[in-house]
Chain A
Amino acid sequence: MGEFEAVIGLEVHCQLATKSKIFCACPTTGTAMNQSVCPICTGHPGTLPTLNAEAVALAVKAGLALGMRIELRSIFARKNYFYPDLPKGYQISQHDKPLCESGSLRIETKQGVKDVRIQRIHMEEDAGKNMHFVGYSLVDLNRAGVPLIEIVSEPDMRSADEAGAYLRELHQLVTFLGISDGNLQEGNFRCDANVSVRRPGEPFGVRVEIKNVNSFRYVEKAIEYEIARHIRCLQSGDTIHMETRGYDAQKDETYVMRSKASVDDYRFFVEPDLMPLVLEQAWVDAIHIPELPQAMKERWVRDFGISHYDAQVLAQTKRRSAFFEQAARHGNTKIVANLISGEILRLMSLAGCEIDEAHITCQDIIDAASLVAADTVSHTGIKLVLAEVWTHGGPLEPWVDKLGVRQVSDQGFLDTLVAEVCQENPGQVAEFRAGKEKLLGFFVGHVMKKSGGKAHPQKVGEAVKAYMQRGLG
């Protein structure tokens, strides 16, 4: 990038995990098309919105978790535009006076730790979904009226890496606190990225908005692409146009969706069907914010001595973190962390489920960790055991024997095997004794093989060395 600097701001639309829609009693979980609808969310003439208190509580929770100022008086506004999936011809949103203002989120990248400022969070309703077919289109209004918060960052990010870290951290926060289920495929956590490029110290460059990208990796790639495109433009003296762009994952490039030459005129005005949202400080204070993922991870690194990477993986979901906390309570914290973030995570992603949905129990992990800690089973061996317990269920110990992975440390047994291997390979013994100590691995490997993997590798190494020295003596 050299002489250029990217400036990135993100707008995240996050579906709140309420049971019912924001302005009516319809369920937020759609079944068949146009089933979770009523006269209110389909915009029948004469209907009026009533605000869902649960949605307000979740939005406030998000604001508190991001250290924001909760506005005790906020205002709903109408954003007017025509689109077939917008039943009322306007979206009820917040404009001038949002619910939460001014906070920040700490992110961590290879470049280090950074606080990204959050400008505002406002509440709004989702629109429906248009589906286009040859010659006709259909509209599904199950999503219409589903509660959303829009979390708007300041333009504080300077690389695609930082944008990705911000999204992952924010996603973790909202799912962790139960604010959103954060399902990316279903569009419950959507991101629009505003990207511009400038020479450091100069004013912001012309901004492009990238819309509708539904994976963190693709957001990063789209931003990377866009930064490179801007720099090319600036270097060749081309003009960058203010526009909205989409991302084509297959071609790995962005494309123009619509030009912003004429700024949209949404004719905002105060929503006359809702009173100003007035909250009492005591009500806000009563909203409980549990330990946030950031603090929890720091505590794990500090108190449990686990790596930042393991902490990140284990804190991914609330359920996983609770599972880990329980398992780690019995000690062997590093091993427990390694087992879950390694083999268990692999099994989870294969099965496509969360840790507490499988046969494996917390006790199984505790048992596995103590077997590894006592050198009873090797790291390799325990993986086999965990895979079986994962599939068939515990308890764990019987699988250790069934799979025959209990490590053998019996000196007599090991000495016998070592002697056999050495007798079979006299040339290598001579070389070793002549000083070629690299051959240790060769002997250990053969002994392990002979033992059927049961021998304790470290003990075997010691036994080989002892044999060689005995022979010399």
Chain B
Amino acid sequence: MVNRVLEAIGSTERHCSIAEIQHALVGGLKVQDLTAAYLGAIHASDLNAFITICDERAMQQARDADRLIAALGAQAFVSRPLLGIPIGVKDNIAIAGVLMTCASKMLENYVPPYTATAIKRLEDAGAIVLGKLNMDEFAMGGSGENSAYGLTRHPVDKTLVPGGSSSGSAAAVRGGLCVAALGTDTGGSIRLPASFCGIHAIKPTYGTVSRFGLVAFASTLDQIGPMTRSLVDAELMLGVMSGRDQSDMTSIDYTYEPIPEPDFSKLRIGVPEEYFGLMPDIEAKVLDAMAWFESKGAQVQRVSLPHCHAAIAVYYLVAVAEASSNLARFDGVRFGSRLDGVFEGARALFGPEVKRRIILGTFALSARGTTSYYKQANYVRAQIREDFERVFQQVDLIIGPVTPTGAYKIGAQMSDPLQMYLNDFYTIPANLAGIPALSVPAGKVGELDVGLQVMAPWRQDALAVAAARVFDKEFLHGRI
């Protein structure tokens, strides 16, 4: 067991679940050795998945964990379900005393004096934070290339992008540099890199995980979620992080709890017709998945989300409008180097994608733009939400692609931001509607990993995950 755990470190192919690792810890593996091995793998890695590595802090946490296990044995894990589990955290989530850059020059020296609620809950549950993960600057981007600290590489093929914006999270999890990672998803930033990297990830119902301590990109869309090698691990993480937080008035009173496998004969699965006729390769994958669900006895039917063709347009107005306001605090008075000056000077520190979105968002909210753009976008957003409400009266879950393609070559889309925006076509609707959506590995298109997306009604996260658990266990093993 101990060997299996250690062999998974730094490996893109082998992995161990949280339960297996904890089993090894009860059996004598030291958390310190486990942590040191992960830290060693991170230092040796050339993926550029981490911006900050928390060597000393992580080792201190590991020593504390070992003391607890020595004192309490298996009992130590009862109230600390993540005890001894090394994780990575996207660098837009605050941990007191640990540098938080958001992959931006603007925050190259910023050390938050407070800790995000999600991190507090994970660390209270015994998780060990190995470091802060690379990302697209302020979570803006879909490839991991928009980082002031260099791009992140795909762990399986280093000429590819890992996807973004949670690029470091996906690369580190697939690359065996941590057991699990936190990502954040505003328009697909958890699901897209999970799909590209062949891992599991959940974007929960909006409000499930407190946003307190998550640097806001688009406040009405942002959600923190787990990225892992198994859905059970993701559920464990989500169970710990979820639940109403007094510090986030938009958090909801919903604590995630896994449910047993659903009765597939009673399950109605919807497939949006708007998701077809665009990308034949990926659609073939979804057709296979449909056939699998039918073979399990589920009733699979075509549904329609008529307004989802406008989702990208709506998203790139709502998200950028909110971003232009959320990023206004970086005015050079307190962030950025003093030498850069305030306002104009300091704001030159933003990278091109961030600047582009701030300019778009500022216009969308301006007196000239708000009626035709921002307000109109919110109107259409409500229509998209109604589309889902209507469809979820007919079906229990919706399945579809996560991404139009598998991972692409580094640099392939950097000159064409619009093409990159289109990658979010399948993921954005769930953010706009606030509903849960996950990405589960669905095999390969050519050489490239792709995921299947499963969406559920508001707060029905556990149903989507339970169905996807069975899919995960059976689909690939039966077919490939």
Q: State the Cβ distance, B125 to closest chain A Cβ, in Å.
A: 21
**Cβ distance A352 to chain B, nearest Cβ, rounded Å:** 38
**Chain A residues positioned under 8 Å from B110 (CB to CB):** 45
A272 engages B329 (CB within 8 Å): no
- C-beta contact mask, B99-142 vs A, less than 8 Å → 1, else 0? 01010000100101110100000000000000000000000000
Shortest Cβ distance from residue A322 to the other chain B in the assembled complex, whole angstroms: 38
| Distance from A434 Cβ to chain B, minimum over Cβ atoms (Å) | 89
Interface contact B249-A272, CB-CB below 8 Å: no
Q: Are B114 and A45 in contact (CB under 8 A)?
A: no
Q: Are A82 and B331 in contact (CB under 8 A)?
A: yes
Binding-face segment, A47-55, A205-213, A342-350: A47-55
Contact with A along B349-383 (1 / 0, CB 8 A): 00000000000001001110010001000000000
| Complex contact B219–A272 (CB within 8 A) | yes
Q: Which of B193-201, B210-218, B286-294 binds A?
A: B210-218
Residues of B within 8 Å of A39, CB to CB, are 112-114
Instruction: State how many angstroms separate the Cβ of B126 from the closest Cβ of chain A.
Output: 23
Q: Which of A90, A269, A273, A274 contacts B321 (CB 8 A)?
A: A269
List residues of chain A with CB within 8 A of the CB of B213.
Answer: 46-47
Q: Does B102 lie within 8 Å of A45, measured CB to CB?
A: yes
Contacts of A42 in B (CB 8 A): 334
Q: A267-B325, A269-B325 are contacts. A48–B211 as well, Cβ < 8 Å?
A: yes
Q: Which residue of A lies closest to B245 (CB)?
A: A48
Residue interface mask A24-55, B partner, CB < 8 A = 1: 00000000000000010011111111110000
Does B342 reach chain A (CB closer than 8 Å)? yes
Contact B114 A89 (CB under 8 A): no
| Chain B residues, Cβ within 8 Å of A80 | 324-325, 328, 365
Q: Which of A48, A51, A89, A269 contacts B329 (CB 8 A)?
A: A89
- The docked-state distance in angstroms from the alpha carbon of A42 to that of B333 is 11
Whether the Cβ atoms of B365 and A267 lie closer than 8 Å is: yes
Contact of A273 among B92, B250, B334 (CB under 8 A): B250
**Contact of A51 with B249 in the complex, beta carbons under 8 Å:** yes
Contact (Cβ within 8 A) A90 B328: yes
**Nearest residue, chain A, Cβ from B92:** A46
Chain A residue, CB-CB nearest to B102: A45
A88 at the interface (CB under 8 A from B): yes
Q: A46-B216, A265-B366 are in contact. Are A78 and B325 (CB under 8 A)?
A: yes
Min CB–CB distance B366 → chain A (angstroms): 6
Interface residues on A, range: 20 to 34
Closest chain B residue, CB of each to CB of A267: B365
Cβ of B382 to closest chain A Cβ, rounded Å: 13
Residues of B within 8 A of A139 (CB): 333
B60: CB under 8 A from chain A?
no
Among A45, A49, A267, contact of B249 (Cβ-Cβ < 8 Å): A49
Q: Is residue B94 contacting chain A, with contact meaning CB distance below 8 A? A: yes
Cα–Cα distance between A329 and B75 once the two chains are bound (Å): 71
Contact (A46, B215) CB under 8 Å given A139-B333, A265-B367: yes
A219–B219 CA distance with the chains assembled, in angstroms: 41
Counting CB contacts under 8 A, is A381 at the interface? no
Contacts of A47 in B (CB 8 A): 114, 212-213
Q: Across the two chains, which residue of chain B brings its CB closest to A89?
A: B328
- B193-234 with Cβ < 8 A to chain A: 211-216, 218-220
Contacts of B394 in A (CB 8 A): none
Nearest A residue to B365 via CB reads A267
Is B212's CB under 8 angstroms from A48's CB? Answer: yes
Which residue on chain A has the smallest CB distance to residue B368?
Answer: A265
* Residues of B contacting A267 in the complex (Cβ-Cβ under 8 angstroms): 324-325, 362, 365-367, 370
Nearest CB of chain B from residue A28's CB, rounded to whole Å: 20
Among candidates A46, A78, A84, A90, residue contacting B333 with C-beta atoms closer than 8 Å: A84
In the complex the two chains form, is B113's CB within 8 Å of A275's CB? Answer: no
- A87 neighbours in B (Cβ, 8 Å): 329, 333-334
Nearest CB of chain B from residue A23's CB, rounded to whole Å: 10
The reply to whether A50 and B246 contact each other, CB–CB distance below 8 Å, is yes
- B93 close to chain A: CB less than 8 A: yes
CB within 8 Å for A82 and B215 given contacts A45-B110, A265-B366, A273-B249: no
CA distance A88 to B112 in the complex (A): 15
Closest B residue, CB atoms, query A84: B333
| Closest beta carbon of chain A to B215's beta carbon, Å | 4
Q: Which residues of A contact B93 (CB under 8 A)?
A: 46
Give the residues in chain A near B235, CB-CB below 8 Å: none
> Most A CB atoms within 10 A — which of B110, B328, B331, B362?
B328
Residue pair B113, A44 in contact (C-beta under 8 Å): yes
**Bound Cα distance A384, B367 (Å):** 67
Residues 245-264 (chain B) with a chain A CB within 8 angstroms: 246-250
Contact (A43, B329) CB under 8 Å given A265-B366, A273-B250, A275-B250: yes
For residue A264, which residue of chain B has the nearest CB? Answer: B367
> Which of A84, A89, A265, A274 touches B325 (beta carbons < 8 Å)?
A89
Cα–Cα distance between A100 and B116 once the two chains are bound (Å): 35
Contacting B at CB under 8 A, from A51-108, are 51, 78, 80, 82, 84, 87-90
Q: Which residues of A contact B374 (CB under 8 A)?
A: 269
Q: Which residues of A have CB within 8 Å of B107?
A: 45
Determine the distance from Cα of A260 to Cα of B331 in the docked complex, in whole angstroms: 24
Most chain A CB inside 10 Å of its own CB: which residue of B220, B329, B343, B362: B329
Please, how many angstroms separate the alpha-carbon atoms of A82 and B112 in the complex? 23
Question: Given A267-B365, A267-B370 in contact, is the A45-B329 Cβ separation under 8 Å?
Answer: yes
Q: Which residues of chain A are near B343, meaning CB under 8 Å?
A: 82
Contact check, B366 vs A89: say whether CB atoms are below 8 A apart.
no
A265 to B364, CA, bound (A): 12
Closest to A274 in B: B249
- C-alpha gap A50/B213 in the complex (Å): 13
Complex CA–CA separation, A163 to B342 (angstroms): 40
Contacts of A268 in B (CB 8 A): 365
Question: What distance in Å separates the Cβ of A171 from its nearest Cβ neighbour in chain B?
Answer: 33
Task: From the candidates B116, B218, B220, B362, name the one contacting A46 in the complex (CB within 8 A).
Answer: B116
Q: What chain B residues lie within 8 Å of A273 (beta carbons)? A: 216, 219, 248-250
Least CB distance from A390 to B in Å reads 50
Min C-beta distance of A47 to chain B, whole Å: 7
**Chain B residues in 8 Å Cβ range of A50:** 246-249
Contacts of B216 in A (CB 8 A): 45-46, 273
Establish whether residues A48 and B248, one from each chain, have CB atoms under 8 Å apart when the complex forms.
yes
User: What are 15 A-B contacts defined by CB distance under 8 Å?
Assistant: A44-B114, A45-B112, A45-B335, A47-B212, A48-B212, A48-B248, A48-B250, A80-B328, A80-B365, A82-B331, A267-B325, A269-B325, A269-B370, A272-B219, A272-B322
List 15 extra interface pairs beyond A267-B365, A269-B374, CB under 8 A: A39-B113, A45-B94, A45-B107, A46-B215, A47-B114, A48-B247, A82-B343, A87-B329, A88-B329, A139-B333, A265-B367, A269-B370, A273-B216, A273-B219, A273-B250
Binding site for B on A (CB under 8 A): 39, 42-51, 78, 80, 82, 84, 87-90, 139, 263, 265, 267-269, 272-275
Q: What 10 A-B pairs come out closest when comparing CB atoms?
A: A89-B328, A272-B219, A267-B365, A45-B215, A272-B220, A46-B215, A46-B213, A43-B329, A46-B94, A89-B329
